[in-house]
Amino acid sequence: MSKIALITGITGQDGAYLSEYLIKKGYIVHGMKRRSSLFNTERIDHLYQDPHRENRNLILHYGDLTDSMNITRIIQEVQPDEIYNLAAMSHVKVSFDMPEYTANADGVGTLRILEAVRLLDLTKKTRIYQASTSELYGLVQEIPQKETTPFYPRSPYAVAKLYAYWITVNYREAYGMHASNGILFNHESPLRGETFVTRKITRAVSRIVLGMQEKTYLGNLSAQRDWGHAKDYIRAMHLILQQDTPSDYVIATGITTSVRDFIKKAFEEVGVEVEFKGEGVDEKGFISSIDTSKFGERVGQEYLESFQKRIGTEAVNVDPAYFRPTEVELLIGDPTKSKTVLGWEPKYDLPALVKDMMQSDVELMKKDAFLKDGGYRTMNYFE
Ligand code: NAP
Ligand code: F7E
């Protein structure tokens, strides 16, 4: 018998990688997707199966974490062995603009799932993974951060996730449920949402070297994050639910890098050196040199001549619109528990992650005729 998994947030970055991973393992995967006026399944379209087909291993249900009855009905219908609660309003900056909605979806949404499993008498059958986050550490109380480090959330997103973390622990202790938190540090990929900083950078660098955009505007360049690859992190989610005993785990690489250094690495990946000058809002990134053979190989010889004129010009500016009212300056995780207990090891390091994202975005930007013609999607503003 195949195991049955229900993934909330299946249309997101992690949902897409996890569903593919579980299907390959022989699972039948059910996913909750939101109704939208446009298609919102791009990340999982390659897994889609016509509903008329028999023995499908990917089945989608309309749903929303703010709707208890809908969640309860889906769980009743699906009778899942494992629930991965990945759905969330996941953008930290946007959570300052939508604090109540964020609390409802990211905080109370988790309660709705736990309570549905309890009411449906599935506490012994259904294991639950809660997508907790390194944002819980916020104003960090210890370096590096591990499972026992006290939390100090710094955004409506993190405060909502704090409720979700503790209600998961509470249901585990109160009702003996197999409910666990993965405290995942930032993880990125070619599928990362376009307004998170790494993807914003790899898209912008690709556009700049292809001559489609002059410069990019970013916020706090000194923030430091422990960045891993989403493909590694979804394996940890699955491992957490395969343990006999539920528990909470930090998933991280143990290495931290500043936003500024991520920008440099993204440019280096295509043979371009960027130098930063100035401080605070006046800090700027200048194109200082080009490794012409690397540029030719990674971007294309035909783009080189016009890009050479960019030497000495600005490619990165700071716009305070991207600053957050309260910032998380430094995150670095200690993954000792997940390595020893779960046997989890990441396959990607930061250079491999940057390479994967840059290769994908250079190709994507070359193909995107809308962007090539000077079009600019509205998504980059203030996130
Ligand atoms: P993501 O790409 O932003 O995906 C979020 C998913 O949640 C999307 O499928 C989205 O649907 C869905 N969603 C949003 N609000 C919903 C609602 N009210 N009801 C139902 N679905 C809703 O996020 P991700 O990077 O894959 O992250 C997955 C989870 O891990 C999130 O809970 C996030 O907070 C958490 N997390 C992420 C990281 C990270 O670095 N990526 C680290 C720690 C924790 P649409 O596609 O329709 O928008
Ligand atoms: O910001 C700084 C920004 O939006 C990272 C979510 O997946 O990971 C993510 O949250 C850093 C911050 O991710 C820009 O101020 C500078 O210090 O990529 P981000 P995040 O806020 O760390 C955690 C673990 C989650 O759980 C969340 O769901 O980069 N930064 N300039 C910028 N950030 C953005 N977005 N845009 C900028 O222009």
**207-248: per-residue pLDDT in tens?**
999 998 899 999 999 999 999 999 999 999 999 999 999 999
Instruction: State the pairing for strand pair 284-290/224-225.
Output: unpaired
Active-site residue flag, 135: yes
- Over residues 51-78, the pLDDT tens digits come to 999 999 999 999 999 999 999 999 999 9
Q: In whole angstroms, what is the distance from residue 367 CA to residue 123 CA? A: 48
Question: What element of type H or E holds 202?
Answer: helix 197-209
List of E strands, 86-164: 127-133
Active-site residue flag, 249: no
Instruction: Tell me the whole-structure pTM to 2 decimals.
Output: 0.97
The residue whose C-alpha atom lies closest to atom 23 belonging to ligand 2 is 186
Cα separations in angstroms, 203 against 21, 303, 366: 26, 16, 11
For residue 144, is the peptide bond before it cis, meaning its omega torsion is within 30 degrees of 0?
Answer: yes
What's the pLDDT band for 379 if we cut at 50, 70, 90?
very low
Q: In whole angstroms, what is the distance from residue 143 CA to residue 333 CA? A: 8
Chain position carrying tokens 């250094």: 261
User: For residue 347, what are the contacts with CB-CB under 8 A and spacing of at least 6?
Assistant: 229, 231, 232
Q: In whole angstroms, what is the distance from residue 87 CA to residue 7 CA? A: 8
Site residues for ligand 2, CB cut-off 6 Å: 90, 92-93, 133-135, 185-186, 195-197, 200, 218-220, 223, 225, 259, 322, 324, 327-328, 383
Identify whether the C-beta of residue 90 lies closer than 8 Å to the C-beta of residue 14: no
pLDDT surpasses 90 at 334: yes
Phi, psi angle pair for 160, to nearest 5°: -65, -40
Q: Which ligand is nearest to the CA of 18?
A: 1
What's the pLDDT band for 96 if we cut at 50, 70, 90?
very high
